[in-house]
């Protein structure tokens, strides 16, 4: 089931690239989720599916919420000081974070049932809602990353990167 593509590597010294790297993972995992129902229908639950679903669960249970914190607590506030005109976009993105977390809660329950082998399928409509939510979200968010590259100084970016790192490695 796994679709291999080049991994992106970034460091905490470049937090915007770290945000992009997270989005790359989100896109890859969303693609895997989108093909999951068809794969299950054709191949059933096997070890490859269980392995991939465990990785996806780990990412969206742990890394995705940290990524959203990185944006809401550090990146967006710093960028809004330099570009206050983005406030309505940031407010929309923060609302979307709530929806993304709720969609994930519902989807993760089904994925957990799959892992526990209490189910042999996942609702395609729920996957589609989750994936489309992230697609829409990323389309609004990534232009703000580019704006951050234009407006935030190297010192500001390194400080944001340090906070992001500390969030994961206290």
CATH number at residue 41: 1.20.120.520
Q: Are 110 and 123 in contact (CB under 8 A)?
A: yes
Q: What are the helix and strand counts (H, E) for the chain?
A: 7, 0
Q: pLDDT tens for residues 41-83?
A: 999 999 999 999 999 999 999 999 999 999 999 999 999 999 9
Residue 43 lies in a domain: yes
Residue 8 lies in a domain: no
Q: Which two tokens stand for residue 36?
A: 């999951």
Q: How many structural domains comprise the chain?
A: 1
Q: How far apart, in whole angstroms, are the C-alpha atoms of residue 113 and residue 121?
A: 9
Tokens 């968010």 belong to 141
Type and span of the H or E element at 37: helix 15-43
DSSP three-state, residue 123: coil
- The pLDDT of residue 129 is 98
Residue 53 lies in a domain: yes
Tokens 């693609």 belong to 31
Q: Within 13 Å of residue 31, how many CA atoms lie on the same side as its CB? A: 10
Q: Can you give the residue range of the structural domain that contains 61?
A: 15-168
Q: How far apart, in whole angstroms, are the C-alpha atoms of residue 102 and residue 106?
A: 6
Residue 28 lies in a domain: yes
Say yes or no to pLDDT of 12 above 90: no
pTM over 0.85: yes
Q: Are 124 and 37 in contact (CB under 8 A)?
A: yes
């Amino acid at each position: 089931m796994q679709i291999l593509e080049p991994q992106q590597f970034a460091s905490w010294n470049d937090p915007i690239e770290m945000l992009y790297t997270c989005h790359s993972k989100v896109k890859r995992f969303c693609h895997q989720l989108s093909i999951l129902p068809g794969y299950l229908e054709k191949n059933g639950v096997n070890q490859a599916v269980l392995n991939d679903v465990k990785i996806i669960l780990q990412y969206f249970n742990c890394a995705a919420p940290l990524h959203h914190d990185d944006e809401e607590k550090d990146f967006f506030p710093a960028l809004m000081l330099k570009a206050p005109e983005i406030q309505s976009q940031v407010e929309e993105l923060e609302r979307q974070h709530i929806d993304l977390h709720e969609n994930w809660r519902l989807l993760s329950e089904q994925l957990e049932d799959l892992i526990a082998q209490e189910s042999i399928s996942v609702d395609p409509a729920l996957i589609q809602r989750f994936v489309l939510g992230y697609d829409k979200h990323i389309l609004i968010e990534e232009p703000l990353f580019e704006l951050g590259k234009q407006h935030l100084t190297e010192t500001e970016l390194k400080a944001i990167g340090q906070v992001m790192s500390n969030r994961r490695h206290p």
